[in-house]
């Protein structure tokens, strides 16, 4: 027993937590109205692990003996459950294929190293044996970054970092913590919190993703406006590469040519296995508050978020949903409390009297942290900006609810799959000057794609993660389809969205990475010369393509 816990093999998160509609009376009518799907029908997932056909392990006796010598027998695992769990990430494509029993190529063995030295030996043993090595963090990626190439005939070794989950040291003066790469979000926050620190990195996948995975995919957390993306948070790191260890000391900044640290960020396992990182941490704030606001339109909300970014306010979260996502948020509220408390007939009458089109209301969250005085000053600055754009403060209730429930929201995809709809996300970043046209183009492209495949569906969006130059737009889309062709239809919509990102001046992904899902757009994003640089970097470090081949480029 390795003691490492994993998510469900067929879906998101852990057993015992699931999304329900019964406590959200507006949801079923909303979904029926928007996509014609009746979600009150019971779910239909019936496949059990025993029903899967799992190809036999191809691990040679020789490589097994070598790996066993390195990590011990208990940490070399090839049982069915472990092999299935390590086969894929958690994109809707992954979930659909696993639920259908379409596993493709499955890792032949999973090893659980307990130290950097063991990881280094595993990397070298895999290269010597010409085996494929795929690092595994929490398995939460949604870009196909763990996908084993179907045509791959070599042995596949999945290296699970789950035993490397400790905060090793904290430099209290610099606020720099050295943490092992396999630490999951809650593990590392709990260890840091005991000493009064926080990393401040809270992706929606926080509960089931790791520090190493965040670095390897260039992740971004909900509070990135204050704490930065993982790319800024990561100051130094250690990585086992073929034949040697890369050690980058933690530095505030450096002028040592092209940044090797940046080359490792987003490398998705193609350069080696990150075993630890030294990251910027912050003192736990005295006050933490998320205020909710309404805007009369998405355009007004976008402008307000831009103005907050260029003001003297230093917020932790700047987020605004379009009217579609706002309507969805209203529909998912429980019988009492949260947003539903706000959507009262009285308030709606007031807004109508002010000339608001109630179908265009956009919900926004802005986060504040720090001392009481600091938070009060920031709120004052933001209040003025919000009212300049016609917005209205609706208090902390909805923000608290959002904060408490955000890590449970991902369970909705399994609920929808069980009832005949496929939902997933695509996100981008673009300059402020291009955001609204990009948004309009994506909505139009997705709706055209849904019409092309002749299926009803829904697309909605929010802005989050603001920068001086621009921001991230995060689209969630769903197709009502439980036919065998659902993935082909999903692809038509996904492709239309991704291509529109590029055509409208955005990037192929702001924080989900490339994997195999987004690699078709890499050349358009980086130009052929950029592809050449990345291709030659990977080839130089890993000439036989033993390290997670086929990802990124």
Show the binding pattern over residues 169-198: x = contacts ligand FAD (CB under 6 A), - = does not: ------------x-----------------
Among 11, 113, 203, 457, binds ligand FAD (CB under 6 A): 203
- The span of 141-149, 171-179, 299-307, 451-459 binding ligand FAD (CB under 6 A) equals 141-149
Among 145, 309, 441, 466, binds ligand FAD (CB under 6 A): 145
447 counts as binding ligand FAD under rule CB under 6 A: no
233 counts as binding ligand FAD under rule CB under 6 A: no
- Whether 474 sits among the annotated catalytic residues: the reply is yes
509 counts as binding ligand FAD under rule CB under 6 A: no
135 counts as binding ligand FAD under rule CB under 6 A: yes
* Count of helix runs (H) and strand runs (E) in the chain: 20, 18
Taking the complex as a whole, how short is the minimal distance between the CB of residue 367 and ligand FAD, in angstroms?
14
Instruction: Return the H-helix or E-strand segment holding 110.
Output: strand 109-111
Taking the complex as a whole, how short is the minimal distance between the CB of residue 219 and ligand FAD, in angstroms?
3
Q: Are 199 and 183 in contact (CB under 8 A)?
A: no
161 counts as binding ligand FAD under rule CB under 6 A: yes
- The span of 206-214, 374-382, 486-494, 538-546 binding ligand FAD (CB under 6 A) equals 206-214
110 counts as binding ligand FAD under rule CB under 6 A: no
For 547, the 3-state DSSP assignment is strand
Q: Which is nearer to ligand FAD, 370 or 410 (CB)?
A: 410
To the nearest 10 degrees (0 to 180), the angle between helices 61-71 and 116-128 is: 170
Among 75, 120, 198, 217, binds ligand FAD (CB under 6 A): 217
Residue 320: strand pairing partners: 364, 463
Burial string for 8-47 (b: 16+ CB within 10 Å, else e) reads ebbbbbeeeebbebeebebbbebbeebbebebeeeeeeee
E-assigned strand segments in 212-300: 234-241, 244-248, 273-280, 282-283, 287-295
C-alpha 323/C-alpha 329 separation (Å) is 10
333 counts as binding ligand FAD under rule CB under 6 A: no
Residue nearest ligand FAD (C-beta atom): 213
Among 296, 410, 470, 549, binds ligand FAD (CB under 6 A): 410
Burial class (CB within 10 angstroms; exposed 0-12, middle 13-18, buried 19+) of 501: buried
| Residue linked to tokens 């899902």 | 517
Active-site entry in 112, 227, 439, 474 = 474
Q: Which is nearer to ligand FAD, 246 or 348 (CB)?
A: 246
Could you tell me how many residues of this chain bind ligand FAD (CB under 6 A)?
Answer: 38
Which pairing describes strands 244-248 and 362-370: parallel, antiparallel, or unpaired?
Answer: unpaired
C-alpha 510/C-alpha 493 separation (Å) is 19
- Cα torsion 453, 457, 462, 465 to 10°: value is -50
Among 198, 278, 426, 548, binds ligand FAD (CB under 6 A): 548
Catalytically active residues are: 474
> Footprint of ligand FAD on this chain (CB under 6 A)?
12, 89-90, 134-142, 145-146, 161, 181, 203-205, 209-210, 212-214, 216-217, 219-220, 268-269, 273-274, 410, 511-513, 548, 551
């Amino acid at each position: 027993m390795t003691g490492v816990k994993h998510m469900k093999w067929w879906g998101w998160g852990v057993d015992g937590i699931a999304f329900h509609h019964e406590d959200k009376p507006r949801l079923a009518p909303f979904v029926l109205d928007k996509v014609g799907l009746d979600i009150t029908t019971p779910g239909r997932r019936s496949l059990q692990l025993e029903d899967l056909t799992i190809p036999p392990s191809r691990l040679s006796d020789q490589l097994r003996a070598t790996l066993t010598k390195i990590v011990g027998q208990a940490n070399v695992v090839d049982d069915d459950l472990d092999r299935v769990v390590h086969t894929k990430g958690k994109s809707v494509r992954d979930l659909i294929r696993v639920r259908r029993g379409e596993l493709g190529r499955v890792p032949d063995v999973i090893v659980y190293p307990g130290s950097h030295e063991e990881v280094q030996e595993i990397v070298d043993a895999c290269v010597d044996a010409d085996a494929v090595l795929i690092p595994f963090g929490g398995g939460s990626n949604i870009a196909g970054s763990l996908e084993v190439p179907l045509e791959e005939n070599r042995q596949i070794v999945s290296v699970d970092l789950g035993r490397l989950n400790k905060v090793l040291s904290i430099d209290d003066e610099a606020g720099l913590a050295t943490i092992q790469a396999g630490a999951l979000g809650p593990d590392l926050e709990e260890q840091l919190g005991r000493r009064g620190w926080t990393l401040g990195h809270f992706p929606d996948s926080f509960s089931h993703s790791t520090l190493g995975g965040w670095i390897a995919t260039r992740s971004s957390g909900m509070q990135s406006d204050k704490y930065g993306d993982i790319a800024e948070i990561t100051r130094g790191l250690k990585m086992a590469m073929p034949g040697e260890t890369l050690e980058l000391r933690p530095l505030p900044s450096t002028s040592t040519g092209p940044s090797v640290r940046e080359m490792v960020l987003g490398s998705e396992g193609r350069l080696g296995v990150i075993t630890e990182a030294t990251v910027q941490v912050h003192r736990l704030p005295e006050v933490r508050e998320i205020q909710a606001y309404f805007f009369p339109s998405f355009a007004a909300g976008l402008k307000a978020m831009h103005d907050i970014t260029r003001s003297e306010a230093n917020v932790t979260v700047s987020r605004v949903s379009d009217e579609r996502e706002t309507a969805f948020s209203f529909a998912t509220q429980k019988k009492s409390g949260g947003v539903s408390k706000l959507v009262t007939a009285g308030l709606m009458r007031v807004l109508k009297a002010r000339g608001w089109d109630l179908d265009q209301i956009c919900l926004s969250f802005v986060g504040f942290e720090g001392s009481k005085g600091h938070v009060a000053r920031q709120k004052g600055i933001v209040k003025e900006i919000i009212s300049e754009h016609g917005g209205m403060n609706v208090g902390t209730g909805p923000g608290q609810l959002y904060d408490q429930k955000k890590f449970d929201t991902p369970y909705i995809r399994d609920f929808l799959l069980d009832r005949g709809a496929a939902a997933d996300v695509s996100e981008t970043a673009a300059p402020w000057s291009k955001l609204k046209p990009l948004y309009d183009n994506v909505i139009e492209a997705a709706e055209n794609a849904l019409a092309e495949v002749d299926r009803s569906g829904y697309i909605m969006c929010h802005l989050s993660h603001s920068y001086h130059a621009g921001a991230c737009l995060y689209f969630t889309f769903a197709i009502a389809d439980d036919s065998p062709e659902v993935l082909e239809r999903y692809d038509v919509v996904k492709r239309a969205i991704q291509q529109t990102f590029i055509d409208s001046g955005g990037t192929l992904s702001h924080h989900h990475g490339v994997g195999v899902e987004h690699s078709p757009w890499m050349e358009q994003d980086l130009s052929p010369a950029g592809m050449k640089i990345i291709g030659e970097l990977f080839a130089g470090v890993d000439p036989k393509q033993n390290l997670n081949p086929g990802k990124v480029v």
